[in-house]
Amino acid sequence: MRLIQFLAGAVGLLANVCKAAPSVSVVSNTQLDPEGIFFVSYDGVVNVNSFQLSAVLTYKNYQFAAWYTSTGTAILGRRKLPSGSWSTLQLPHNLSTMDSHNAINLGVSPEDGKIHVALDCHSTSLFYTISEANLATSGNSWVASRFAAITSTLGTLNIGTEITYPQFVITPQNLLQFVFRTGISGDGATQLAEYSAGGWNNVGSWASATGTYTAPDGAVSTLRNLYIHGFTYHGERAYVSGTWREQNAAVSCSPEGLTNHDTIYIYSDDLGRTWFNNASAQVGTSGTSPINVNTAGIIVDSLDADHGLMNQESQTVDSTGLIHIIISYVPGRFTQCVENYETVRPEFARPFHLYQNPNGTFTKVEIPFFIQAVGRSQILMDSEDNVYVILPYVRVVTASKATGWTDWTMVYNGTATALDAFGEVTLDRARVPTGVASVLYQQNSTGTTPSAVKLIDFTLNG
Ligand SMILES: *[C@@H]1O[C@H](CO)[C@@H](O)[C@H](O)[C@H]1NC(C)=O
Ligand SMILES: *[C@@H]1O[C@H](CO)[C@@H](O)[C@H](O)[C@H]1NC(C)=O
Ligand SMILES: *[C@@H]1O[C@H](CO)[C@@H](O)[C@H](O)[C@H]1NC(C)=O
Ligand SMILES: *[C@@H]1O[C@H](CO)[C@@H](O)[C@H](O)[C@H]1NC(C)=O
Ligand SMILES: *[C@@H]1O[C@H](CO)[C@@H](O)[C@H](O)[C@H]1NC(C)=O
């Protein structure tokens, strides 16, 4: 009897070992700048925001990173992968205002190997520069003179004077695209431009501010903007998930709440020209007929504006082409009205793994750890479709595909290892397919005392 119990126990243990949540191991933790600019605005720091998409970017044999120094000078870093030392150059531009939106974002156009940089905007003109051809791969000396003069247009394309959230996306077809918002928070349009044959062209707006939203209590809002969790290509398909931010604060139960509501999902199979909902019905055309809050069949998780739902968290796509999204909010068991998201989210907000099943339905699973911050988390997957979520302060929690993403375990605790990270981080998404998560973070500080900007590299499940 005892022997049988022992054997059963051993088999159970073995099964657990085989199914253990995927691990990470630290390869390196490199200081890029001992004195990055530090100030907290809109609950964030300017060097590290989840909406940047590409503050750190791998392209072929090189990795690039961007940040502002203590004096606000824009710096671009480059190293040869996997472990070359960093070179830096100073762009002839300084941060214009102490606003955490005004981050630096990087892209590469594969057709000519030019590096693109967009920075320093929040409902203002953007600042943009482009490098000489092939600087992304040539290894030529890393000096600012290899970049063109800074402009407020994308080449000859004038995108206006109310720009926020510039994001570069490299498509599997080797095009560079540019996703951005025009207008303002609560009254903005989401836009797409494309670089080809050496120039930028406008594709147009694919999500507009129009339509009518009625909250459960009857309050009505007639303007908003779509905040996206990402713009992710897998094969021919572009996947977008997001949340709406209403202009009328009355749609939330509290004036200090967040007016974000619902999680939407759309996709495009023609490089962002036409858009489809989860039921494969065409719902939008960029430029002429953008989606809006009243577009049918785009909500994949319903939630009203009373729960402190965060915007611009993160998303990824698995090897079979199904989207996985991280959203976070305060579950109803803690309160049905988040009165002040800045105090209630750090106490009670939880991340949720929201993903599409092969039959098209969406499943939402609460991840059993607190966010412990106002800010956001980053989701990524390894080649075996295991999920890794980097919670604020570089706490890495994982779940295995083998268990249907249920065995959530904290496998790296950046709080315990005293990284002293200021909450939110950004991720080099282009490097993930090589089995490495490069995570940019900045150390916590007080007031405007500068702090270190660092890059920590983890290998995934190995
Ligand atoms: C940026 O700030 C630095 C340090 O204060 C200064 O030396 C430099 O001239 C400024 N650059 C620009 C382009 O304003
Ligand atoms: C998504 O589409 C599938 C397949 O048509 C459907 O079964 C499912 O209910 C839809 N899910 C949502 C959240 O719309
Ligand atoms: C779709 O798949 C999910 C996950 O396997 C399952 O829970 C759900 O019942 C399925 N729904 C339909 C309509 O087949
Ligand atoms: C992470 O580390 C902190 C500081 O040591 C500790 O308080 C916390 O309980 C740890 N979290 C987990 C999930 O182990
Ligand atoms: C960051 O520093 C501020 C100011 O000292 C402090 O109030 C806050 O608790 C720190 N955050 C973390 C996560 O340690």
| Distance from Cα 91 to the centre of ligand 1, integer Å | 10
Position 18 scores a pLDDT of 55
- Using CB atoms within 10 Å of the CB of residue 9, give its burial: 0 to 12 exposed, 13 to 18 middle, 19+ buried: exposed
Residue 67: how many CB atoms within 10 A of its CB? Answer: 25
* 67/32 Cα distance (integer angstroms): 9
| Distance from Cα 26 to the centre of ligand 4, integer Å | 18
- Closest ligand 2 atom, residue 359 Cα: 4
Position 418 scores a pLDDT of 87
| Distance from Cα 423 to the centre of ligand 5, integer Å | 10
HSE value, Cβ hemisphere, 13 Å, CA-based, for 147: 25
Q: In the structure encoding, which two tokens stand for residue 182, read together?
A: 């025009």
For the CA atoms of 129, 131, 136, 142, the dihedral, rounded to the nearest 10 degrees, stands at -100
| Distance from Cα 314 to the centre of ligand 5, integer Å | 24
- The pLDDT mean for the chain works out to 95
Enumerate residue ranges in the chain where pLDDT < 50. Answer: 1-16
Q: Is residue 38 within 8 Å of residue 448, measured between CB atoms?
A: yes
Instruction: Strands of 319-446 (E only): list them.
Output: 323-329, 350-356, 362-366, 378-381, 387-391, 395-399, 409-413, 426-427, 436-442
Task: Provide φ and ψ at 4, rounded to 5°.
Answer: -65, -45
Q: In the structure encoding, which two tokens stand for residue 187, read together?
A: 């009254």
* 292/206 Cα distance (integer angstroms): 9
Position 7 scores a pLDDT of 45
23 in contact with ligand 5, CB cutoff 6 A: no
Query: Could you tell me the pTM of the whole model?
Result: 0.95
| Distance from Cα 359 to the centre of ligand 3, integer Å | 6
| Distance from Cα 289 to the centre of ligand 2, integer Å | 23
* 28/67 Cα distance (integer angstroms): 19
Nearest CA to ligand 5 atom 13: 422
Contact partners, residue 284, CB within 8 Å, separation at least 6: 206, 207, 266, 274, 275, 290, 291, 295
359 in contact with ligand 3, CB cutoff 6 A: yes
Nearest to 377 by CA among 53, 50, 55, 52: 50
DSSP state of 144: G
- pLDDT one-digit tens code per residue, 117-157: 999 999 999 999 999 999 999 999 999 999 999 999 999 99
* 320/220 Cα distance (integer angstroms): 40
Mutational pocket test of ligand 1: of 71, 95, 129, the residue with most ligand atoms within 8 Å of the beta carbon:
71
Position 1 scores a pLDDT of 40
Residue 330 vs residues 311, 342, 353, 357, 371: alpha-carbon distances, Å: 13, 12, 14, 25, 10
CATH number of 43-392: 2.70.98, 2.130.10, 1.10.3470, 3.30.70? 2.130.10
Indicate the domain borders of the chain: 43-392
Mutational pocket test of ligand 5: of 446, 449, 451, the residue with most ligand atoms within 8 Å of the beta carbon:
446
* 158/154 Cα distance (integer angstroms): 6
For the chain, the first-to-last Cα distance in angstroms comes to 38
Place of tokens 């005392």: 449
Q: Is residue 167 within 8 Å of residue 179, measured between CB atoms?
A: yes
Nearest CA to ligand 1 atom 4: 71
Output b/e per residue, 338-348; b: 16+ Cβ within 10 A: beebeebbbeb
Position 13 scores a pLDDT of 46
- Closest ligand 2 atom, residue 297 Cα: 14
Instruction: Strands of 208-303 (E only): list them.
Output: 213-214, 220-221, 224-234, 237-246, 260-268, 274-276, 282-285, 299-301
| Distance from Cα 378 to the centre of ligand 4, integer Å | 19
Contact partners, residue 361, CB within 8 Å, separation at least 6: none
Mutational pocket test of ligand 5: of 444, 446, 448, the residue with most ligand atoms within 8 Å of the beta carbon:
444
73 in contact with ligand 1, CB cutoff 6 A: yes
* 61/452 Cα distance (integer angstroms): 26
Q: Is residue 56 within 8 Å of residue 455, measured between CB atoms?
A: yes
